[in-house]
Amino acid sequence: MEESHFFALLGRMKYIQRWSLMRNTEVENLQGHSLETAMIAHQLGVLRNTYFEGTVDVNRLAVLAMYHDVSEVFTGDMPTPVKYFNPKLRALYGEVEQLANETLWRTLPEPVQPVYEEALVSVPEEYEVLVKAADTLSAFMKCVTEKAAGNDEFNAAYDTIHERLVQMQLPEVDLFLKVYVPSLTKSLDEMNVSFTK
């Protein structure tokens, strides 16, 4: 089997800083964001299946979310205001993202490429919607914690991203916001988590 650069490239995710146009109280890198997004996506699938009669494969969803931003090892993190500046720029950047994903996919040994094709090249629409929701929730959670730390730089992003979540009209997103987001601003003492049975 020939040498593959796949994991060497993925390892560079930790060097890609997010929210580069904003003052941050806590720096966030792409690798950490991808893990958080995968965890959120998994939970969104669980909520859909448990409360809203869904049939999502939650493990598949988590894996798709884990790889959702890997193109950024080539492109870096383009800030949202730039990426969505106008439809033409967004379409061009979408093509660059797709090309980057395909390039990364081709670094894999050919016999294992089919296993990664869905995650890197062609995410099914039902799953893509939930991955996007998880990605957006991750951004919103960042805004919540930055605001709680007194960083007013995230006020506008908080409002914009919250509105985007509402417009998704996904009941599992609404439930996630209700159940999990309020404790993000609490200290460990305030959470009062007990280790007793």
pLDDT tens readout for residues 135-192: 999 999 999 999 999 999 999 999 999 999 999 999 999 999 999 999 999 998 888 8
Asked whether residue 195 carries a pLDDT value surpassing 80, the answer given is no
Question: In terms of pLDDT, which residue wins out, 21 or 37?
Answer: 37
Query: Is 191 part of a structural domain of the chain?
Result: no
pLDDT at 82: 73
When the pLDDT of each residue in the chain is averaged and rounded to a whole number, the result is: 94
pLDDT at 93: 85
Query: Is 196 part of a structural domain of the chain?
Result: no
DSSP 90-154: HHHHHHHHHHHHHHHHHTS-GGGHHHHHHHHT---HHHHHHHHHHHHHHHHHHHHHHHHTT-GGG
Query: Is 1 part of a structural domain of the chain?
Result: no
Asked whether residue 131 carries a pLDDT value surpassing 80, the answer given is yes
Task: Indicate which CATH number applies to the domain containing 44.
Answer: 1.10.3210.10
Residue % of the chain over a pLDDT of 90: 82
Query: Is 195 part of a structural domain of the chain?
Result: no
Query: Is 80 part of a structural domain of the chain?
Result: yes
Beta carbons within 10 angstroms of residue 58's beta carbon: 19
Task: Evaluate if pTM is beyond 0.85.
Answer: yes
User: What SS3 string covers 51-69?
Assistant: HCCCCCCHHHHHHHHHCCC
Task: Give whole-number Cα distances, 190 to 31, 43, 151, 196, in Å.
Answer: 29, 23, 21, 17
Query: Is 52 part of a structural domain of the chain?
Result: yes
Number of domains, the chain = 1
- Which pair of tokens denotes residue 42? 């998994």
- Which pair of tokens denotes residue 82? 């730039």
pLDDT in tens, 84-122: 778 888 888 889 999 999 999 999 999 999 999 999 999
pLDDT at 196: 75
- Which pair of tokens denotes residue 167? 């417009």
**Cα 31 from Cα 185, distance rounded (Å):** 23
Task: Give whole-number Cα distances, 128 to 12, 25, 60, 145, 168, in Å.
Answer: 24, 30, 11, 26, 13
Residue % of the chain over a pLDDT of 70: 100
Asked whether residue 27 carries a pLDDT value surpassing 90, the answer given is yes
Range of the domain at 167: 6-183
pLDDT at 95: 92
Look at the block and give the residue holding tokens 């796949």.
6
Query: Is 94 part of a structural domain of the chain?
Result: yes
Query: Is 188 part of a structural domain of the chain?
Result: no
